A and B are shown apart, each in its own frame.
Chain A
């Protein structure tokens, strides 16, 4: 079960996910937050990271005096879980409702619509 995380925590997770390398250094996250215009204090970040670790999103490995953080939950996993959560909450588990809302609400661009259509057909072919 993927737990809920706060916006700031998600921000941190995005930085970790966005890092092409397996392990992320503390300073990398610190810089990433600053680049996203959400700078924070060291202690704040430590606290947030430890919360993420408690929730099972990150694991830390001590290398010398630095911590290296690795994501335990992938971005896709998180998105799936969040979507499911969202579906449950808003559409009572009905994906149809969501999709129809997307289409009816004019929330999709034309290319997105085409791609979605292709995806749906492809998904049908796969057993």
Chain B
């Protein structure tokens, strides 16, 4: 259905709901609450009916979603068969052609036909129904305007201006009383049945006759002027426009009637306030007289008349007689009711356009009928997927290194690529040619390998990547879905059309590592989501283990978006030479490690510092990677490479950073160590002994709680203040530390006091005394492991003294400070 109309219907519906509430509320509160309020509160409803805005979460949105879902469910579209990716061991259910044993799938073709034919008929109807609505609304509006114009002509035709100065003066006074600044014309037209006010800008009060008693004239004029003052004509027309637009909603018509009533009621109320109590009867009489000749012309529309019909008049008379000023309690009630209605109006809200878009057939599964399914298993190999020229599957590869198995069973295409045991130099790249067609289900399983693929423009892609580097690009106009899990390694996903019409979810279940994603993805805990347009293309990406993931849109995919340390790397390593070097990092195999440890070249760091891009020896691939990332300053990639090194190499790196004081790399390396590496303890020991607070702090970040507690005990025992502070902090026991510190300080103060006392200096609060005299400047320089000095100044004091200590920091005496010493001290300050 048309979005505009849908939005409008929801506006009409929520407005209708409000109208019902107000009408119901009126029954109970009509006589208690100000008529003004009863009149103006409808403005809230009108705004709700006319403005398509509302908070995101609202009743209408929810209702419509439910309705949409119901529609989507009842529209029998064929369900997608379960994804073959879930079936283990490379046994695939043929996706199409054979009906799977699934209840939903009993008669997919028939259902499809029914659905289609239903849609064929329904679509044009729903597509164009908004035109019908618009046409009706416009013609109604035009009709109202012409009726009004006709009425104005009718009145103007027989208009005689009143020249009686007395009457004009009365009008003048009334205008001043009502605060009307504009000149008001006064005319007589015997054709009108009751007094009325015309004109938006050139005001004119039209009376059926000038021959009415003065008081009556006064009230009449006051009533009409009050209408003008309150801009009731605009209100009336606003209501008329609303009625025209919501012509199909009977409640809106009801509201229009109710507003007309409330308008007169509230106007009466306002007039009564002005003329003061005691005049109610006179005013009522005026109304009655004004009614005498009602019914000559349909003047209800547009012009504001003094009386509208007899029933209303009866009620108005009743209301006038009951009129009384509001009490405080009623005022409070009024304020609360206003709040209630306004909040209600925003809560019922509308069906927002955003949801409308999303709701246009949400998550329709792609029709995969007649499409080939592709399944690819890559193990310890580097594969570059290219477009096949002849529309057939083929591969170019070195058969000494790889085994490539391609099989086609009808629409099920299987490709299995593996490395011949123990002969993988990883220098060889397989060029895999696949036809550039629309695929059904695409399974990509990559284990310790490399895969570059940017060819699949349509298909349900299921990816399982383990210790792999995968570069998957979704071409422009991609349709289908992606469900990929990357366990360690690097996974890069680029959407060439910026995730249009997708519902994209990135989930981070990984430990260390990072995900780079576009800025407009909404983050929530460990997931980031992005939705656009139809949301038909569902993309789910999950990071597991350790590794880096890069999710890019076509334009964010440039190095400027990269963290600084990545930029150079990208330039040097990937951009220039796409992936040939990169995959080495990820094609590391378990059995390589022992060899690497034995490799004599590893023991000497400089020996393995192969130039970036050069051909490193097979065994120390990871080590040179670490080297390379270290050179380029890439912390996250270094971490990955580092974690794959053996303990010996790791130790060497850590020692290097420790010696260099390279905190950044030391930090990422420590995090790459894993919680129970013995290196952690070794280096902590070292840092502890060297009193390297920062390094210890980094290391404690990677430690288990139990281990931290052991260290804390040790620091407490040794009285190592700085380490205690760190460890308490890491254990989240800051309070204890503060307490301890306080206690310590107190003790230390006491000790100091005793020490000074022995030397003849007494302390009383902040005052120092020496030989009975108040001390002006007191200086004590202590050269312990951490030097500090105590300086106290008291302007009231008369003497300047300093504590003299020997090399063991024992106090040997107290000296008066010389002039020079004082100047030097103060000068330094």
Contacts and interface: CB of A to CB of B under 8 A. Distances in A.
Interface stretch (A43-51, A58-66, A105-113): A43-51
Interface in B171-188: 171-173, 175-176, 183-186
Contacts of B165: 8, 38, 40, 44
A41 B172 contact: yes
Contacts of A41: 168-169, 172-173, 176
A76 interface: no
Contact of A50 (B172, B173, B183): B183
A100 interface: no
Given A50-B183, A50-B185, A44 B168 contact: yes
B161 interface: yes
A41 to B, nearest CB: 3
B73 interface: no
Interface string B172-215: 11011000000111100000000000000000000000000000
Interface in A6-65: 6-9, 38, 40-44, 46-48, 50-51
B102 interface: no
A47 B186 contact: yes
B171 A43 contact: yes
A65 to B, nearest CB: 13
Nearest to B185: A47
Contacts of B183: 43, 46-47, 50
B828 interface: no
A48 B168 contact: yes
Contact of A51 (B161, B169, B173, B175): B161
B163 interface: yes
B163 A44 contact: no
Contacts of B163: 6-9, 48
A42 to B, nearest CB: 6
B204 to A, nearest CB: 10
B157 to A, nearest CB: 16
B171 A44 contact: yes
B161 to A, nearest CB: 6
A40 B165 CA distance: 7
A44 to B, nearest CB: 4
Nearest to A51: B161
Residue among B171, B173, B183 with most chain A CB within 10 A: B183
Contacts of B184: 43, 47
B176 A43 contact: yes
| B: interface residue count bin | 10 to 19
Interface string B135-175: 00000000000000000000000000101010011011101
A7 B163 CA distance: 8
Contact of B175 (A6, A43, A50): A43
Contacts of A46: 183
Contacts of B186: 47
Contact of A40 (B161, B169, B175, B185): B169
Residue among B161, B165, B168 with most chain A CB within 10 A: B165
A71 to B, nearest CB: 19
Contacts of A50: 183, 185
A7 to B, nearest CB: 7
Contacts of B185: 47, 50-51
A110 B487 CA distance: 129
Contacts of A38: 165
A11 to B, nearest CB: 9
A10 to B, nearest CB: 10
A43 B161 contact: no
A46 B182 CA distance: 9
Nearest to A11: B165
B626 to A, nearest CB: 86
Residue among A6, A7, A43, A50 with most chain B CB within 10 A: A43
A6 B163 CA distance: 6
Contacts of B169: 40-41, 44
Interface in B416-434: none
B172 A42 contact: yes
A21 B274 CA distance: 43
A34 B598 CA distance: 122
A56 to B, nearest CB: 15
Contacts of A42: 172
Nearest to A41: B172
Nearest to B170: A41
Contacts of B176: 41, 43
B779 to A, nearest CB: 81
A108 B161 CA distance: 36
A50 B187 CA distance: 13
Contacts of A9: 163
A41 B183 CA distance: 11
A86 to B, nearest CB: 19
A46 B175 CA distance: 13
Contacts of B161: 6, 47, 51
A3 to B, nearest CB: 12
A46 B172 CA distance: 10
A54 B176 CA distance: 24
A114 to B, nearest CB: 38
A96 B173 CA distance: 49
Residue among A8, A9, A41, A47 with most chain B CB within 10 A: A47
A49 to B, nearest CB: 9
Nearest to A43: B172
A75 to B, nearest CB: 20
B202 to A, nearest CB: 9
A26 to B, nearest CB: 12
Interface in B646-667: none
A81 to B, nearest CB: 19
A111 B649 CA distance: 141
A42 B163 CA distance: 14
A32 B671 CA distance: 100
Nearest to B174: A43
Contacts of A40: 165, 168-169, 172
A116 to B, nearest CB: 33
10 contacts: A40-B168, A40-B172, A41-B173, A42-B172, A43-B172, A43-B176, A44-B172, A47-B161, A47-B185, A50-B185
Interface of B: 161, 163, 165, 168-169, 171-173, 175-176, 183-186
- State the 3 A-B residue pairs at the shortest beta-carbon distance, nearest first: A41-B172, A6-B163, A43-B172
Interface of A: 6-9, 38, 40-44, 46-48, 50-51
Given A40-B168, A47-B186, 16 more contacts: A6-B163, A7-B163, A8-B163, A8-B165, A41-B169, A42-B172, A43-B171, A43-B175, A44-B168, A46-B183, A47-B161, A47-B183, A47-B184, A47-B185, A50-B185, A51-B161
